[in-house]
């Protein structure tokens, strides 16, 4: 095959190569936009738990390592979520009186893993934005034969 035949072949297949390139670019753009939408949806729907340590909380190196593995399992529990939306975040907030609160936040798909205790002396509470929830109190029924 000589150079004239190669040039003719390239000119004849040019429109097809251009169409294939445009189709490939369109497919890549579509996949990128789908991933972006899924990541935004995952970042919009996140679960959070509050971590409350006891007064004697002093973790050993082994406990810290186990907690690191615990945090790594969140990514496996949220397998369908893109990497950007599957991140686990520790958030510290200051509340009235200068107290600090620690929140563990992650994808909603992994809420059950987030709620598992990671340390022996840390209580995991469901983080609620409503502060007006009152506990339910039941009164004891009057016993028979006891005067009040």
On the question of pLDDT at 26 being above 90, the answer is: yes
**Residues 102, 106, 108, CA angle at the centre, nearest 5°?**
125
d(CA 32, CA 93): 34
Contacts of 63 (CB under 8 A, 6+ apart): 119, 120
What pLDDT score does 130 carry?
47
d(CA 86, CA 114): 12
- The SS3 assignment for 46 reads strand
- As given in the structure block, the two tokens for residue 69 are 């593995």
* pTM of the full structure: 0.59
Query: For 85-129, how does the pLDDT look when each residue is reduced to its tens digit (9 = 90+)?
Result: 888 888 888 888 778 888 888 888 888 888 888 888 888 888 755
- Set out the domains of the chain in order of their start, with CATH numbers: 40-126 (3.30.70)
What pLDDT score does 137 carry?
65
Q: Count of CB atoms within 10 A of residue 86's CB?
A: 21
- As given in the structure block, the two tokens for residue 118 are 């990671």
Contacts of 46 (CB under 8 A, 6+ apart): 105, 106, 107, 108
Under the banding of pLDDT at 50, 70 and 90, the label for residue 1 is low
Under the banding of pLDDT at 50, 70 and 90, the label for residue 33 is very high
């Amino acid at each position: 095959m000589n150079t004239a035949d190669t040039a003719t072949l390239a000119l004849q297949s040019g429109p097809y190569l251009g169409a294939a390139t445009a189709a490939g670019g369109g497919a890549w753009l579509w996949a990128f936009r789908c991933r972006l939408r899924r990541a935004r949806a995952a970042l919009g729907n996140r679960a959070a738990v509050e971590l409350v340590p006891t007064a004697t909380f002093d973790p050993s190196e082994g406990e810290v390592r186990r907690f690191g593995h615990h945090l790594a399992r969140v990514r496996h529990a949220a397998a369908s979520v893109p990497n950007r939306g599957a991140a686990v975040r520790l958030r510290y907030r200051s509340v009235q009186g200068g107290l600090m609160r620690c929140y563990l936040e992650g994808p909603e798909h992994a809420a059950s893993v987030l709620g598992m205790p990671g340390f022996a002396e840390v209580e995991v509470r469901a983080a609620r934005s409503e502060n007006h929830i009152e506990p339910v109190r039941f009164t004891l029924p009057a016993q028979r034969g006891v005067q009040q």
